[in-house]
Chains A and B, each alone.
Chain A
Amino acid sequence: MQPSEWDKQLSPVRDRLAGIECTRENRVFLPCEAEHVCEICRFLFEELRWRFVISTGIDAEDCFEVLHHFADDASGAIITVKAFIRDRQVPQIDSITPLIPAAEWIEREMHDLLGIRFRNHPNLQRLILADDWPEGVYPLRKEVQT
């Protein structure tokens, strides 16, 4: 799909996006601020009927990023909503689980490993870390050495 076609298809949420980046054919990244993530994902999942694939949480230098990957299986495209969480002290973002049940585990995982709080998540309990893992230590943050 051409960049202009993406523009047209995404027009209802276009003003919520900071851009539409096509890295190659069938790969699109949609950067946005954290507060718009639910609105955008609702549109992709419910209106465009794209499949939720998985999410990636990233400890970037000056912020946290939550990437929600979607697939449009009809065209084979992978569309990634890239939400920036600017507050590094108390990183939080709205949960998409009430909208997309498939996101429950991965949001719990990001909560465990990166310490990102997902607002309105129905069950934000530990999934990956052991019950006796110390509070406040998040293994996927960059300050934790491998």
Chain B
Amino acid sequence: MRDPPEIVGGVFWMGRRRMARGVARGARVLALAFLVVTVVAAVAVAAAAVAAVARRVVLSAAPGPMPSPSAPQPAPIAETSRRVPASPASPASRASHVSQESASRPRSYRVVVPKCGETNRRLYLTKPRLKGNDVLELQERLRALGFFSGKPDGVFDLSTDAAVRAFQRAVDLEPDGVVTPDTWLKMATGRAQTLPALTEAEMPSGERRIVVDVTKLTLTLYAGDKVVKQYPIAIGKWHTPTPIGEFAIIEKDYAPGGAFGSRWMGLNVPWGGYGIHGTNRPWSIGTAASAGCIRMFNEDVEELFELVPIKTRVFIVGYEPEGDITRELGPGATGQDVQVLQYYLRREAFDAGPLDGRFGERVEAAVREMQKFYGVPVTGRVGTNELYLLGLR
């Protein structure tokens, strides 16, 4: 007679004693497993708590320029876990810069948190899979370098992991599959700066302003009516477009680091934190690659940073502002729909001021003028009549 199987399906063949032994052994194994799992979970929770406390401590201690009152409020800091950059600039230079830009403002320890969707996170294979614009960029770059043969889809999956490891091996990095700033930098090839450098002394006189053309992928610095210099840039992808309109630089930050490169200049776009910044992905310059911000070579953005003060006007041009007006708009309203309104008012030759997405006095005056011209009730607000007049309904 053959021995009955001990584990599965053989319980009816076991003797009573052997069965009792088996049950006791199973219980011991279960108890041990439970203990191990509990210990591991406790350790993980403790580690997470320690990390959170450490991050809060670091954030609260980091100095930085205070955003102007009109600046959009930064997103909750914890959301994107964006760390305060370890600034290479000396504290003295940073302090002097802040005092130049906002001499009358008190020093603040608030952090400038760029919000254009760029992230500085480490990328690696995990569950759930990491997804996003940065993964997409990684895949596209690895593909361009010949390490990734799949279709870039913005999901860090097994094939991406394999491509990263292959790349790391090829450039003598530890093939751990984790994409760190070092990995990004290794992916850069070619020169970064494309134009001769410019200094403050060489700047012509006149109001300085920046014109970003999203169709030509250029950023042009003007002084008065003279073109001072034109820089190549990267703009937002089609699904995260660079906002069109007329804005101003409202904050500047040395060395934001990571995806933001060596400089950050925030714009007063009312519906999000967009800015002009450097990059750790210089190959993307000349493409639509960002999450909406304007990316420049680090050398270029460092030069521009010194040439344009806060309040410099930035005109982002290239195509019509997109969006729909689905609410009644009146004085005080802000948003992309206000910018659409401004654009259409201007297209109808009513002076609605800069396309800054703010329903101020100038927009109200333009609305009133339009209402008077067409003979509809002069309310200074935008309702259905006005949408019909502007051809939006």
Chains A and B form a bound pair: no
Residues of A participating in the B interface, judged by any CB pair closer than 8 Å: none
